[in-house]
């Protein structure tokens, strides 16, 4: 019975490209008209068939992680991208779409991230091992979207470009107090202190990140300019000339978006500028992937632009500029994925095969989501005063224009 139901689901779902599926009994069937992506997979146990019918999103990730769904590592991206591309065309069963809508409506209940729960969620992902992240991130340990203004840039160059782009938007002057909400391993804070003379306070809920950030500040001779705290941003009561937050809003949760921006409002000085960098949907709000929520980012939520805008509108701040970065996170994730695969011998020394497959699936499904869905990155510049930020974006590219003119001469 379950074989028949899944077979019919796939017949309806795959309307572009082709999926070649080997069933547990050894038979092989093709789905879709062909052309474009070709996905291949093998179902190794009958149990996964039923689970794919009943809870397809969760079962897909779980089945690949535990080996009940097999596809060669170099073909996993095409397999996942094919499924996501076809899902976007709206041919999933009606009950699945209804369940997704219900989860969307319940997101306000599911994502109640009080300070204690937030810390547990963050530590679930970030405190597994700094060594793992060092294997696939750039040298500065930037775990967020890079900026590929040059499509041939290395990951290190693109991450440096991201930090420079953000720093220009912050318009930092020496001696200004800067708050870094969700400071990670300290890369942004160290850059702002070293290159711009800022006094930076970084807050994180990850003990691993805190220890690494403090060590890096000491080694760089910047401990007097960078203070890192294990602290929930909601407990801060100080005022700052600048606020930066990169890749942290995704951990806030839908019910706390207004609380987050209200706090930024209260912490930002009257003449200050804040720069919020976050993954976001340029599509109607929807639920977090059940698999991502359970295994990778518990309590996480990717907001839509409409949700972020609604929260900002209720503060006393201008949305001085909103830039949507598209076509940058997919390449970033591709770099991470290639580095992860190249480092597999070292990864296997630390983790078992199930973890390797889980992490590979995580990187693949995120890359495919950015390439196949209406998902990008928002950089939102906020200020209390209308003219705290220049009225055009020319200032962001003055150095580039100068270099181009000099080269032409």
CA distances from 190 to 196, 223, 367 (A): 10, 9, 28
End-to-end CA distance of the chain: 74
- Report the C-alpha gap between 315 and 322 in whole angstroms: 16
Return the SS3 of 36. coil
Are 159 and 148 within 8 A, CB to CB? Answer: no
Phi then psi for 48, rounded to 5 degrees? -70, -25
Catalytic residue among 145, 183, 226, 366: 366
366 labelled catalytic: yes
The per-type count for the chain, helices as H runs and strands as E runs, is 18, 11
Sheet strand arrangement including 318-325: 226-230, 199-204, 177-181, 240-246, 268-281, 375-383, 318-325
DSSP-derived secondary structure letter, 254:
G
What would the two tokens of residue 248 be? Answer: 């942290």
- Please list the residues that pair with 204 across neighbouring strands: 230
Catalytic (active-site) positions: 366
């Amino acid at each position: 019975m379950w074989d028949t139901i899944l077979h019919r689901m796939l017949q309806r779902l795959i309307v572009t490209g082709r999926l070649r599926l080997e069933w547990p009994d050894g038979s092989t069937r093709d789905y879709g008209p062909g052309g474009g992506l070709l996905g291949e997979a093998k179902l190794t146990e009958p149990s996964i068939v039923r689970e794919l019918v009943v809870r397809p999103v969760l079962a897909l990730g779980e089945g690949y992680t535990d080996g009940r769904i097999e596809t060669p590592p170099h073909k996993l991206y095409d397999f996942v991208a094919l499924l996501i591309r076809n899902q976007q065309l709206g041919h999933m069963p009606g009950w699945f779409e209804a369940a997704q809508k219900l989860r969307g409506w319940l997101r306000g209940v599911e994502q109640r991230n009080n300070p204690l729960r937030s810390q547990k969620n963050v530590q679930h992902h970030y405190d597994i091992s700094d060594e793992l992240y060092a294997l696939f991130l750039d040298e500065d340990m930037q775990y967020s979207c890079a900026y590929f203004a040059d499509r041939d840039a290395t990951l290190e160059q693109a991450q440096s470009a991201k930090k420079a782009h953000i720093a220009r938007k912050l318009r930092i002057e020496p001696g200004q107090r800067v708050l870094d909400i969700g400071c990670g391993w300290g890369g942004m804070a160290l850059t702002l202190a070293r290159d711009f003379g800022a006094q930076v306070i970084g807050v994180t809920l990850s003990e691993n990140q805190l220890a690494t950030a403090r060590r890096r500040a000491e080694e760089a001779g910047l401990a007097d300019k960078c203070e890192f705290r294990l602290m929930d941003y909601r407990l801060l009561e100080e005022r700052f000339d600048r606020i930066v937050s990169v890749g942290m809003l995704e951990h806030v949760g839908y019910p706390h978006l207004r609380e987050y921006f209200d706090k930024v409002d209260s912490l930002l000085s009257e003449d200050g500028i804040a720069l919020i960098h976050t993954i976001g949907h340029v599509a109607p709000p929807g639920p977090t992937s059940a698999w991502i929520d359970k295994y990778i980012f518990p309590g996480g939520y990717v907001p839509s632009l409409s949700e972020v805008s609604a929260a900002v509108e209720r503060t006393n701040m201008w949305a001085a500029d909103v830039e949507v970065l598209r076509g940058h996170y997919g390449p970033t994730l591709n770099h991470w994925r290639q580095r992860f695969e190249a480092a597999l011998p070292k990864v296997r020394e630390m983790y078992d095969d199930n973890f390797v497959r889980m992490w590979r699936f995580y990187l693949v499904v995120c890359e495919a989501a950015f390439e196949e869905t209406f998902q990008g990155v928002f950089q939102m510049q906020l200020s209390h005063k209308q003219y705290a930020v220049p009225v055009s974006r020319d200032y962001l590219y003055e150095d580039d224009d100068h270099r181009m003119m000099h080269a032409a001469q």
